Chain A
């Protein structure tokens, strides 16, 4: 008698792997856990315009690079221009042309999907900040304010917060009024931070609002503290970011640089869109070219095939449960699963009626065949052919009557039906009609339960999109294979043994 321990470890491993793989899939690829889930996406058009000067032109345009948004699709329209996209830490599109004359328009279009990851982690410690040197006229005023706030703050962040409050204070000191008369508030804020060597930088962001056109980027300031960049909207006296803000450029550089052109300008227009979360995550996986174990990489025909095949484990699980734990007898171990598969095509009621019609007609024909004294093989074969006739006949009749439901009857597995008829016929001869109804009813009951489980949209969504679920099913089936307890039906069967109390 060997130890059961490795078995249980194996089962637990299967279970954990299955659950883990499913959660990973949900988190990493944003595959929604519920079917029919919707996500917002933003379609943003950037129009870059400038005037050419009849000489070579090069346009460098920063592309959005924000962990809070995933890029679903991006493309550009720029006839006559050569285009390179650099994929360094600052993504940039570089358009170039030998000769640009007159007004030029370049388009960049991107579809963004919010990810909800609003925090911006710094990949590396920012380099030491160059101390800002104030012009002589502002030096005293600025240093007084900075020293005062510095004394009242503990960290970079609290320093920045207090500075921003002070800049936006309604009762401004003379010093502050002086400084604001020559600088805008964002610039002043950054300079003051730099005076104390606090790592801070400009960042350009686009505020997303549905159906807006001719929008501009807004400048914000980011302050570094403990591995993270914090956003400050000095003009609105606001710290932190909303989820409708896309950071377009955050390396402190400029968004648009045009060489060989003048009057350059970038305008944004945007449109909000709602799309299926599932379709979005599939598109994302396609864009990322993720070498992940996804069935969406298969051709469509195989995909729909697998949608059916992957339901079988659910049906099998139901059968194992109903036989091992509940103790329902069926004719043919997995016949109910195959019948349930057919029900998925036919829908339940049509399926049940069709099944009963075929089997009862089959039994009638079979009772004639049994008087012919045939060999078993040829008898079964004859039943198969007769079943095909019956199916053909019913399909034809229902078509003539205009019952389109009847046409789906062809989905029944004919060989299985023929064997079912044969077994039931023998059962009828040996044990009488009652047993036939009990066993046939049990099979249909199990098939119905299996159908209800398999046709559930949540189940269908999970078995196809989260393949880890199948490991969990495997683990459950293995565990049930170890069940030595009483079946539900045995509680009734063995009732006489515990006496009447």
Chain B
């Protein structure tokens, strides 16, 4: 049978799109704070003010006539990333991993001409990638030198760590690894591998690609059953403190591990997707209800992380 019965899903505590929108996003995410996460420039400034590490900002392109300054901005760098400040779902992110004699190359080795970069930035400024088509600005960021610990786990791209933070408690996490199918992007619907992580330890629990369980990376054949995400404690703390920073109750935090700088906050998401449940092989609803039922005085970041580690631990499903 290809379809599940609704009550089976409900018993498994699976959160669905309508309920997420009405009961979590609508109820816990006040509209006025959305710009703190929807505009990556503001997120970055807030994060810096709150002592949260983020990727370097090389420059911001705000006007069409500034576009041609990009080659000057990135001079001397081995790679850079251009992303729309208000992009969503990974749209419009251009990653240049190699610069040779003024020629730019993507992770898959394809060359990107300056003209293509200009057009991409021009589209970005016109709002092609932003929510609702609003005019946007483009951020030029330093390339993250990803931690070699993940060599083999990801193909042509940086794996990132998504944590769902509900009212400041990290409730569920996953590692997203790009594949050949996802074209170096870490978005699950584009074919990236999602690896569910234990909140208590940061160890892998379960892995899926295109919603189907896998136990090896499809391109590198790296076994996924025994991954330990380093700096797990810092990741949990960073994610948890993002709650105070942006005051959104239902939040997705995306972080990467840099070889030299450790965990960096990439972006925040006020409408995090539901696939994390499939990656964990577990519904998120019981944990959300658990946090909702908590009474008593507000906890500090440390207390919340400890609480989450104690209550949201899991056994591997491999």
Residues B91 and A430 in contact, CB atoms below 8 Å apart: yes
Residues A491 and B18 in contact, CB atoms below 8 Å apart: no
Complex Cα–Cα for A54 and B11 (A)? 100
Complex Cα–Cα for A73 and B190 (A)? 70
Beyond A487-B17, A498-B8, whether A375 also contacts B64 by CB under 8 A is: yes
Query: Size band of the A side of the interface?
Result: 20 to 34
Most A-side CB within 10 Å, residue of B6, B14, B18, B278:
B18
Least distance between A331 CB and chain B CB atoms (Å): 13
Complex Cα–Cα for A327 and B208 (A)? 22
Complex Cα–Cα for A375 and B128 (A)? 10
Quick one: CB contact mask for B22-59 with A, threshold 8 Å, 1 for yes?
11000100000000000000000000000000000000
Beyond A375-B126, A376-B123, A426-B128, whether A495 also contacts B3 by CB under 8 A is: yes
Let me know if A373 is at the binding interface, CB within 8 A. Answer: yes
Least distance between B75 CB and chain A CB atoms (Å): 22
Let me know if A283 is at the binding interface, CB within 8 A. Answer: no
Complex Cα–Cα for A498 and B283 (A)? 9
Complex Cα–Cα for A429 and B6 (A)? 36
Let me know if A490 is at the binding interface, CB within 8 A. Answer: yes
Quick one: CB contact mask for A165-183 with B, threshold 8 Å, 1 for yes?
0000000000000000000
Which residues on A sit within 8 Å (CB–CB) of B17? Answer: 327, 487, 490
For A480, the closest partner residue in chain B by CB is B18
Which residues on A sit within 8 Å (CB–CB) of B11? Answer: 498
For A427, the closest partner residue in chain B by CB is B91
Complex Cα–Cα for A430 and B94 (A)? 11
Task: Number of B interface residues at 8 Å Cβ cutoff, please give it.
Answer: 39
For A378, the closest partner residue in chain B by CB is B126
Let me know if B118 is at the binding interface, CB within 8 A. Answer: yes
User: Which among A370, A373, A430, A486 is the interface contact of B9 at CB below 8 angstroms?
Assistant: A486
Let me know if B16 is at the binding interface, CB within 8 A. Answer: yes
Let me know if A293 is at the binding interface, CB within 8 A. Answer: no
Residues A495 and B126 in contact, CB atoms below 8 Å apart: no
Residues A494 and B4 in contact, CB atoms below 8 Å apart: yes
For B1, the closest partner residue in chain A by CB is A495
Complex Cα–Cα for A484 and B24 (A)? 11
For A1, the closest partner residue in chain B by CB is B27
Residues A497 and B22 in contact, CB atoms below 8 Å apart: no
Q: Tell me if A's interface is mostly helix, strand, loop or mixed.
A: helix
Which residues on A sit within 8 Å (CB–CB) of B283? Answer: 497
Let me know if B294 is at the binding interface, CB within 8 A. Answer: no
Residues A495 and B4 in contact, CB atoms below 8 Å apart: yes
User: Which among B2, B18, B118 is the interface contact of A483 at CB below 8 angstroms?
Assistant: B18
User: Which among A375, A431, A490 is the interface contact of B16 at CB below 8 angstroms?
Assistant: A490
Let me know if B299 is at the binding interface, CB within 8 A. Answer: no
Which residues on B sit within 8 Å (CB–CB) of A1? Answer: 27
Complex Cα–Cα for A239 and B78 (A)? 106
Beyond A491-B4, A494-B4, A497-B9, whether A375 also contacts B19 by CB under 8 A is: no
Least distance between B206 CB and chain A CB atoms (Å): 10
Let me know if A5 is at the binding interface, CB within 8 A. Answer: no
Quick one: CB contact mask for B205-226 with A, threshold 8 Å, 1 for yes?
0001001110000000000000
Let me know if B281 is at the binding interface, CB within 8 A. Answer: yes
User: Which among B8, B115, B126, B212 is the interface contact of A373 at CB below 8 angstroms?
Assistant: B115
Which residues on B sit within 8 Å (CB–CB) of A486? Answer: 6, 9-10, 14, 16, 18
Residues B213 and A497 in contact, CB atoms below 8 Å apart: no
Let me know if A485 is at the binding interface, CB within 8 A. Answer: yes
Residues A497 and B277 in contact, CB atoms below 8 Å apart: yes
Let me know if A117 is at the binding interface, CB within 8 A. Answer: no
Which residues on A sit within 8 Å (CB–CB) of B119? Answer: 370, 373
Residues B3 and A484 in contact, CB atoms below 8 Å apart: no
Let me know if A126 is at the binding interface, CB within 8 A. Answer: no
Let me know if B282 is at the binding interface, CB within 8 A. Answer: yes
Let me know if A493 is at the binding interface, CB within 8 A. Answer: yes
Beyond A486-B9, A497-B277, whether A373 also contacts B122 by CB under 8 A is: yes
Residues A496 and B14 in contact, CB atoms below 8 Å apart: no
Most B-side CB within 10 Å, residue of A377, A484, A497:
A497
Q: Please give the residue numbers on chain A whose beta carbons come within 8 Å of chain B beta carbons, in ascending order.
A: 1, 324, 327, 370, 373, 375-377, 426, 430-431, 482-487, 490-498
- 26 A-B pairs, CB-CB below 8 angstroms? A375-B122, A376-B123, A376-B128, A430-B91, A483-B18, A484-B19, A485-B6, A485-B19, A486-B14, A486-B18, A490-B9, A490-B17, A492-B2, A492-B4, A493-B211, A494-B4, A494-B14, A494-B16, A494-B278, A496-B211, A496-B212, A496-B213, A496-B281, A497-B277, A497-B278, A498-B8
Which 7 interchain pairs have the tightest Cβ spacing?
A: A376-B126, A484-B19, A373-B119, A498-B8, A491-B3, A495-B4, A486-B16
Known A497-B9, A497-B12; 4 more pairs at CB < 8 Å: A373-B118, A485-B19, A486-B16, A494-B278
